[in-house]
């Protein structure tokens, strides 16, 4: 976007046109935060056109859910296949026994679930960073203030000019300034 504003001067447009462009191009912040938190997979960042956070959401959710799913699959395999086999053979095999497969399954479920929660929190924070920065760059490029007023103001004034030398001209000077 900075390249676009460097190439084109949008400040030549009338104020109402610049406000209309800003209203159409600005990104929302609250809905993408909740969408990333609730639905995940970078869907909220997709609304803000933030590709890097969108890909982070897709990759982190897929990876963490895969780890947790592997843990659930191992646990189900252990519960449905190994427990009945031990019961048929007459050996005492309970849930609390030292079964390495159960330990691996539980650890991968907890690690995958914890990483999933952390990834969703990071996904919820990222639109809070990207959205205001995007909107600020857009406002600055369009020459608007935060409350959508014109940043470019012309001020005219009169300034007294008094010289120490009595023989010089003393009077007033017309001054103008353009504020950005």
Residue linked to tokens 């030292």: 98
Q: What's the CA gap between 90 and 84, in Å, rounded?
A: 10
Position 180 in a domain: no
> Could you tell me the pLDDT band of residue 177, with boundaries at 50, 70 and 90?
low
Mean pLDDT over 10-20 rounds to 87
Position 106 in a domain: yes
Mean pLDDT over 5-26 rounds to 86
SS3 143: coil
Partners of residue 157 on adjacent β-strands: 175
Position 121 in a domain: yes
pLDDT value at residue 71: 96
Mean pLDDT over 54-65 rounds to 97
Question: DSSP characters for 74-104?
Answer: HHHHIIIIIHHHHHHHT----TTS--HHHHH
Position 120 in a domain: yes
What total of structural domains would you count in the chain? 1
Mean pLDDT over 84-113 rounds to 81
Position 127 in a domain: yes
pLDDT of residue 11 exceeding 90, the answer is no
Mean pLDDT over 134-155 rounds to 81
Position 163 in a domain: no
How distant is the alpha carbon of residue 120 from its chain centre?
12
Q: Which of 27, 23, 21, 14 is nearest to 150 (CA)?
A: 14
pTM attached to this predicted model: 0.74
pLDDT of residue 29 exceeding 80, the answer is yes
Position 169 in a domain: no
Domain holding 136, by residue range, is 2-150
Q: Which of 28, 9, 49 is nearest to 135 (CA)?
A: 28
Position 164 in a domain: no
pLDDT of residue 70 exceeding 90, the answer is yes
Mean pLDDT over 104-121 rounds to 96
């Amino acid at each position: 976007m900075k390249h676009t504003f460097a190439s084109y001067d949008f400040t030549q447009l009338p104020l109402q046109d610049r406000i209309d462009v800003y209203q159409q191009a600005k990104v929302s912040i609250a809905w993408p935060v909740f969408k990333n938190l609730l639905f995940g997979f970078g869907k909220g960042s997709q609304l803000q056109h933030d590709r890097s956070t969108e890909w982070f959401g897709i990759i982190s959710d897929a990876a963490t859910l895969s780890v947790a799913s592997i843990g659930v699959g191992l646990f189900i395999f252990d519960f449905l296949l190994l427990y009945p086999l031990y019961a048929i053979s007459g050996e005492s095999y309970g849930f609390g026994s030292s079964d390495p497969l159960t330990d691996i399954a539980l650890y991968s479920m907890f690690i995958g679930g914890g990483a999933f929660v952390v990834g969703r929190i990071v996904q919820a924070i990222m639109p809070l960073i990207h959205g205001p920065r995007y909107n600020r760059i857009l406002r600055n490029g369009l020459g608007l203030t935060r409350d959508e007023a014109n940043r470019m103001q012309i001020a005219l004034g009169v300034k007294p000019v008094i010289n120490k030398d009595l023989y010089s001209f003393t009077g007033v000077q017309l001054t103008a300034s353009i504020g950005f």
